[in-house]
């Protein structure tokens, strides 16, 4: 990593008052905590932001993990925090088998969101990927994450056991396929679909800056 990259990482971590990643009971702790005043359910940023990026992700997708870890913190600190950008998470299941760890992870995150902890669970999932359909998001692992985040387990357990939660993720996955999304991550930037990881953070930042400046 270059000295410039190290400096940027330090600034991002300092901006959110977070510590470097650490391990706790076998879980890798996310390095970033987003400011509470920017969080609105499964979105980060002001509702009137001129640029809206919907991020279609599968929690088992390693490239989605890179976006969450390498792009999201800077997007939040440099654009969401300044009112230019709203990020909206759209969790889908395209990598899961039966039983689907992708589906279970998405449901777990949504149920954490019922307790105001969606983004904490979202990042916990991405920081703890371990290959596709290999047990990283098995029920006991998701429960461990819920406990680490001090969720109300009775409420969370009831939520993940509600068939309507899984149905919502399946419906979102089908809707995404209906608009041509067949890979993750896919970004919808003010309605325009961009598949895959952006070429670079600077390229994405330039596009956001341009869109935000339009009347």
pLDDT over 80 (residue 190): yes
pLDDT band at 31 (very low <50, low <70, confident <90, very high): confident
Helix (H), strand (E) counts: the chain: 9, 8
The superfamily (CATH) of domain 36-213 is: Glutaredoxin (3.40.30.10)
Q: Quote the distance between the C-alpha of residue 29 and its chain's center.
A: 14
Q: What is the rounded average pLDDT of the residues 177-189?
A: 97
Q: Can you give 140-207 as a three-state secondary structure string?
A: HHHHHHHHHCCCCHHHHHHHHCCHHHHHHHHHHHHHHHHCCCCCCCEEEECCEEEECCCCCHHHHHHH
Q: Work out the mean pLDDT of the chain and round it to a whole number.
A: 89
Report the pLDDT value the prediction gives residue 2, as an integer from 0 to 100: 34
Ranges of each domain in the chain: 36-213
Q: Which of 12, 42, 52, 53 is nearest to 30 (CA)?
A: 12
Would you state the pLDDT for residue 16?
44
What average pLDDT does this structure show over 172-195? 97
pTM for this model (two decimals): 0.86
How do residues 8-27 score in pLDDT, each as one tens digit?
333 343 344 333 344 455 89
């Amino acid at each position: 990593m270059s000295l410039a990259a190290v400096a940027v990482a330090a600034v991002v971590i300092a901006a959110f008052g977070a510590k470097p990643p650490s391990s706790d009971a076998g879980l890798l702790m996310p390095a970033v905590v987003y400011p509470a005043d920017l969080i609105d359910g499964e979105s980060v940023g002001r509702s009137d932001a001129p640029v809206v990026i919907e991020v279609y992700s599968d929690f088992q997708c390693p490239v989605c993990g890179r976006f969450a870890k390498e792009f999201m913190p800077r997007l939040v600190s440099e654009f969401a925090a300044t009112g230019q950008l709203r990020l909206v998470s759209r969790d889908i299941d395209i990598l899961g088998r039966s039983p689907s760890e992708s589906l279970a992870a998405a449901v777990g995150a949504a149920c954490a969101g019922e307790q105001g902890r969606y983004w904490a669970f979202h990042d916990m999932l991405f920081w703890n990927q371990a290959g596709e359909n290999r047990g990283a998001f098995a029920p006991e692992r998701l429960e461990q994450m819920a406990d680490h985040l001090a969720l109300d387990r009775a409420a969370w357990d009831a939520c993940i056991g509600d068939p309507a939660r899984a149905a919502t993720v399946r419906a979102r996955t089908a809707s995404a396929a209906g608009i041509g999304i067949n890979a993750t991550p896919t970004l919808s930037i003010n309605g325009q679909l961009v598949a895959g990881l952006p070429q670079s953070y600077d390229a994405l930042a330039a596009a956001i800056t341009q869109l935000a400046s339009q009347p």
